[in-house]
Amino acid sequence: MNAQPKPKPTKGFPLPSSLRVIPGTERAQAAYPYHIQFSEADDNRFWFYNSMHFPEPMSAFDMVTAEAAYCALGAANTRVHCLPTTLGIDHRIINGRVYIGGNAVTDPAEIARRTEEFQKRAFYYYENWERLYAQWREKMLKLIQDAQALPKPTLPELEPLENVHAGRGVASNHYLLDIYQKTLEGYFRMWHHHFEFLLLGYGAYLTFFAFCKKAFPEITDQTIARMVAGIEAEIFRPDDELRRLARRAVELGVDGKFKEGVPAEVIIESLRQSGPPGEQWLKELQAARDPWFNINVGDGFYHYHRAWNDDLSMPFAGLPDYMRRVRAGESLERPIERLKAERAQLIAEYRELLSTDDERAAYDQMITLAHRVFPYVEGHKFYCEHWYTNLFFNKIREFGALLAQHKFFPDAEDVFHLTHYELEAAIIDLMTAWSNGSEPRGPAHWPKIVAERRAALEEWAKHETPPALGPVPDVIDDPAIVMLWGITRESLDNWLAASGGEDTNEVKGFAASSGVAEGPARVVKSVEEISRVQKGDILVCQVTNPTWAPIFQKIAAAVSDIGGSMSHAAIVAREYGLPAVVGTGNATARIKDGQRIRVDGGRGIVTILEQDA
């Protein structure tokens, strides 16, 4: 009797069920809502670690960012614009790490039905883009104004007499719940605005991308990306303002006040005492701060990613080197005109290769649309992830301060160790105790839990997590997953090869921005480590951020674990003319801090030149 051949093992990553909650942190893991915990059914699906947006373990409250974002993204994809081949994105969390998985549409009949709906919905947006985008800006500014207008939550000892005489009929404790619910509702609403245009922007670019790949088989992803480079978007304005302030300091003769390592408040006080030139510079600083310093030092998804306006140390750290370059006669401008000239030349050259008028007409229509919609892909971040999200977290801090005042926990920042569901319960506890004249139960309940969750976050941060989980999908059609995260079959194959222990000195990823650079690797795994970056270093990180622009003047190149050709890391690198390779999957694990490496941004290859740091 012939032996039956053994079935080939399914090619894939570790199954979700193989991951274990780190011992001692089980209660902290259980704090996350039931619907984002992994289950046995999740073993049948592909997941990847979203280190682009959530590179560090998430605290209990910060998880609201993923919850609100994926709720809104799914609605935009699935119900509003009806993208033909993809629905929304599911997310799960383990050991504070956020994994996501797309929901593909594979049935041809359903794709056809959704395509018909997509054309009626998305094409209307494309045809009326400028009007609808102007309307979007007004909606976002109104939402920001509403958030700014929310009163500070307070509880007086007695209801103010004027409220009684006015017959208001509602006591102050009710407004705690009212303010909190409006704060939370505004945040969920913001994420719906965030995704109103975003996937359409990616879709327009992806359509042009697919056309180019078919019409010009030898064209590289990076060449297509360069056809939309040289954009003007609000996310670049904060760094533009910082460069302007550096030039003005030199012109006013106060640049000597700015020295590395000197606290911002010390510099500001020195400028106040330096007469009219210093006063003039401070006046211009104030003009720049509103609104352009409403930008976070990270991507805005963690409560401790504070805005420049909350902590001036980040922007002030970038000023001395900008001033040095001004004194040396160097230009501080982004090479935007050069990028525009390059893109015009590329567009014209490839257009000449097309053989028919119909092809040229389609090409013209698609690249024109890509240029119209693409500024939103970066511009929305300033209003959403930065300005509004910072307002949101600062309002939660006010609730933290109120609860800390009533001994719920020692510090206002401890509020972020509660889920947003638990925070509402704590607020109602305080409201009830105030109304009854009794002591709240929170002071006996929360301190131990807060300490336990803080310890869990510290423990989770010590452990690595797999870049992906589950079986590798045959096809990845979600435009966001491909263009933003850089998850393709090719990139997954590279990740699998690396996880198999291939003995090689090369790390492969997406060719994000052309150029070759060599230098010491500076491995940065959190915002707090940015200060370690020195002149000439090559930044190796899980993901870069547009708000890190002040350090782009120092680095020779950038390498990231996650990201596609349209990720923020890739876009920013191209806009600043910096060689970059993104979507490597494991560069921060493969490359040691201090190792000398070479980055070939045109080929998407990072070479480790020395094995010892």
Residue 503 binned pLDDT confidence (cut-offs 50, 70, 90): low
| Lookup result for tokens 């992994």 | 38
Predicted pLDDT of residue 3 = 39
| Per-residue pLDDT, 374 | 83
Distance CA 594, CA 538 (A): 9
Region 338-356: mean pLDDT is 95
Tokens of 496: 């699998």
Q: What is the mean pLDDT of the chain?
A: 90
Instruction: Determine contact, residues 89/102, Cβ cutoff 8 Å.
Output: yes
pLDDT reported for residue 534: 86
90 has a pLDDT exceeding 70: yes
Residue-level pLDDT at 501:
54
Per-residue pLDDT for 401 more than 90? yes
Phi and psi at 260, nearest 5°, equal -60, 135
How far is the CA of 186 from the CAs of 22, 189, 384, 388, 549, in angstroms? 35, 5, 11, 9, 29
Give the separation between CA 144 and CA 146, rounded to whole angstroms: 5
Q: Which of 134-143, 493-502, 603-612 has the highest mean pLDDT?
A: 134-143
**Rounded Cα distance, 217 and 74, in Å:** 33
**Per-residue pLDDT, 545:** 66
| Prediction pTM value | 0.90
- In this prediction, residue 7 carries a pLDDT of 36
Tell me how many helices (H) and strands (E) the chain has. 21, 12
Q: Give the residue extent of every domain in the chain.
A: 1-127+406-420+436-500, 234-333, 503-608
- Which of 6-10, 144-148, 253-257, 608-612 is predicted least confidently? 6-10
Q: What whole-number distance in Å separates Cα of residue 38 and Cα of residue 45? A: 11
Average pLDDT over residues 566-576: 79
CA distance 441 to 573: 52
Q: β-strands 538-541, 557-560: how paired?
A: parallel
Amino acid identity of 55? P
Whether residue 194 is predicted with pLDDT greater than 80 in this model: the reply is yes
What average pLDDT score do residues 186-212 get?
92
pLDDT value at residue 477 = 67
Residue 585: what pLDDT?
81
DSSP lists the bridge partners of residue 373 as none
pLDDT at 74 over 80: yes
Average pLDDT over residues 87-99: 96
Checking if the pLDDT of 6 tops 60, the result is no
Tell me: the pLDDT tens digits for 436-458?
999 999 999 999 999 999 999 99
CA distance 328 to 310: 31
Considering the domain 503-608 in this protein, what is its CATH number? 3.50.30.10
pLDDT confidence of 548, banded at 50, 70, 90?
low
Local confidence band at 500 (pLDDT 50, 70, 90 cut-offs): low
At residue 321, does pLDDT exceed 60? yes
| pLDDT at residue 5 tops 50 | no
Q: Which of 38-52, 274-288, 325-339 has the lowest mean pLDDT?
A: 325-339
- pLDDT of 9 higher than 80: no
Share of the chain above pLDDT 70, in %: 95
